[in-house]
């Protein structure tokens, strides 16, 4: 067939997503095998430009489910992508301080040194953006602003996509090593007083080094305080896939919804899957995402998620991470989600 899809490229972040579970279960590959389509992993590619598409969304006929900053950045830079859905799984978002600093509350951050990662050669520094967002949101609760603390850059010369991810029994492990923890090293050396970490990794580091949790903005009742790179997460495809292979986009959403529906009744299995996704133990998955993590795996285009995504997009523009803001509702295309929900797979 002239319009058949030869290869679907996928990528997801090491966080809880329906796409991640659908991939681990083999459902995504099985669904496309029937259609004669190969399914390939972007992060495991041996080609740098292909791996970089996890952040830049340049590979044609690809889907990405994960942190929203790279997806927002690609759209702001003019790339033709479409937002198919949003998933909101709250996670730990920790402002951490060394016990020696004496910092115990957000108010204590005033005038102190805050360590920020600074990846100097990447298109979008999502680690810096999410740390700034966590800091700004935390400070706002006490009437403070980012200008009230001293920002200390932790310069990183390497690149996110330098090496392919290693796949060990379904767990994707990056090889950036120490660069992923530059601000942690600075905190332990006493070069900064506080840092931001999130998710299972953040919770584990805080425990491992006996750090003081100043605040967890991920547990705040106000959604816009919790809104960050992972809240909500974006399910996005390139425009070519949607325009030329609409059925493939519907199949993707169907498998995401299938995985999420299955997850609701399988909490212990979900914990194991998420441990594999995040490269952490089931204990830290529960600490970071809650004992009921499976109930938070839902992809839709809910108003709360769209409002939070718009607020966060405006934040990224205000801090000059992206060249322009845009209307996220115009970015969203609900047709594949509507079609998938209409033909919902019986689980």
In this predicted structure, what is the pLDDT of residue 347?
Answer: 41
The residue written with tokens 């951050």 in the block is 109
pLDDT tens for residues 128-172? 999 999 999 999 999 999 999 999 999 888 655 555 555 655 555
Kindly state the helix (H) or strand (E) to which residue 93 belongs, with its residue range.
strand 93-97
Complete DSSP assignment for 229-265:
TTBSEEEEEEHHHHHH-HHHHHHHHHHHHHHHHHHHT
Identify the sign of the CA torsion 127, 129, 134, 136. Answer: positive
Global pTM value: 0.91
Q: Cα–Cα distances in Å, from 223 out to 215, 220, 305, 312?
A: 15, 7, 9, 11
In this predicted structure, what is the pLDDT of residue 345?
Answer: 47
In this predicted structure, what is the pLDDT of residue 13?
Answer: 82
In this predicted structure, what is the pLDDT of residue 14?
Answer: 83
Q: Which two tokens stand for residue 132?
A: 């700034």
In this predicted structure, what is the pLDDT of residue 274?
Answer: 86
Under-50 pLDDT residues of the chain: 1-2, 175, 177-178, 345-347
CB 309 within 8 A of CB 68: yes
Helices (H), the chain: 18-24, 27-33, 48-56, 68-76, 126-140, 182-189, 199-208, 223-226, 239-244, 246-264, 267-278, 282-289, 303-318, 328-331, 335-342
Closest CA to 266 of 286, 292, 299, 233: 292
Closest CA to 214 of 315, 128, 132, 139: 139
The rounded distance, in Å, linking the Cα atoms of 86 and 223 is 14
In this predicted structure, what is the pLDDT of residue 166?
Answer: 56
Burial 275-306 (b: 16+ CB within 10 A, else e): bbbbebebebbbbbbbeebbebbbbbbeeebb
CB 138 within 8 A of CB 103: no
Q: Cα–Cα distances in Å, from 143 out to 25, 95, 108, 138?
A: 46, 17, 12, 9
CB 260 within 8 A of CB 295: no
SS3 for 134-160, per residue? HHHHHHHCCCCCHHHCEEEEEEECCCC
Q: Which domains are delineated in the chain? A: 7-89+231-342 (3.40.190.10), 93-226 (3.40.190.10)
Q: Which two tokens stand for residue 220?
A: 């705040």
In this predicted structure, what is the pLDDT of residue 164?
Answer: 57
In this predicted structure, what is the pLDDT of residue 69?
Answer: 96
In this predicted structure, what is the pLDDT of residue 173?
Answer: 56
pLDDT tens for residues 166-212? 565 555 555 454 456 889 999 999 999 999 999 999 999 999 999 99
């Amino acid at each position: 067939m002239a319009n058949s899809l030869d290869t679907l490229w996928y990528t997801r972040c090491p966080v809880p997503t329906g796409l991640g579970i659908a991939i681990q279960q083999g459902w995504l590959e099985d669904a496309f095998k029937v259609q004669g389509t190969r399914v390939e992993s972007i992060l495991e590619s041996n080609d740098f430009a292909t791996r970089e598409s996890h952040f830049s969304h340049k590979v044609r006929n690809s889907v990405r489910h994960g942190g929203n900053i790279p997806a927002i950045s690609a759209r702001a830079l003019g790339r033709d992508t479409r937002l198919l859905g949003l998933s909101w799984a709250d996670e730990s978002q920790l402002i951490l301080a060394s016990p020696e600093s004496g910092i115990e509350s957000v108010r204590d951050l005033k005038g102190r040194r805050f360590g920020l990662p600074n990846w100097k050669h990447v298109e979008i520094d999502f680690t810096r953006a999410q740390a700034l967002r966590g800091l700004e949101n935390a400070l706002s609760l006490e009437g403070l602003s980012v200008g009230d603390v001293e920002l200390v850059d932790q310069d990183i010369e390497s690149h996110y996509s330098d090496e392919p991810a290693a796949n060990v029994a379904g767990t994707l492990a990056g090889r950036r090593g120490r660069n992923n923890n530059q601000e942690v090293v600075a905190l332990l050396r006493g070069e900064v007083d506080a840092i931001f970490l999130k998710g299972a990794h953040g919770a584990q580091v805080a425990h491992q080094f006996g750090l003081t949790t100043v605040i967890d903005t991920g547990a705040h009742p106000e959604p816009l305080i919790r809104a960050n790179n992972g809240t909500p997460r974006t399910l996005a495809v390139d425009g070519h896939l949607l325009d030329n292979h609409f059925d493939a986009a519907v199949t993707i959403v169907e498998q995401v919804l299938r995985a999420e529906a299955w997850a609701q009744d399988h909490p212990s299995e979900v914990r194991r899957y998420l441990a594999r996704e995040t490269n952490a133990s089931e204990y830290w998955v529960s600490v970071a995402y809650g004992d009921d993590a499976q109930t938070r795996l839902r992809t839709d285009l809910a108003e709360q998620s769209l409002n939070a995504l718009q607020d966060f997009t405006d934040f990224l523009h205000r801090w000059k991470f992206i060249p322009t803001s845009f209307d996220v509702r115009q970015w969203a295309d609900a047709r594949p989600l509507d079609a998938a929900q209409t033909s919902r797979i019986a689980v």
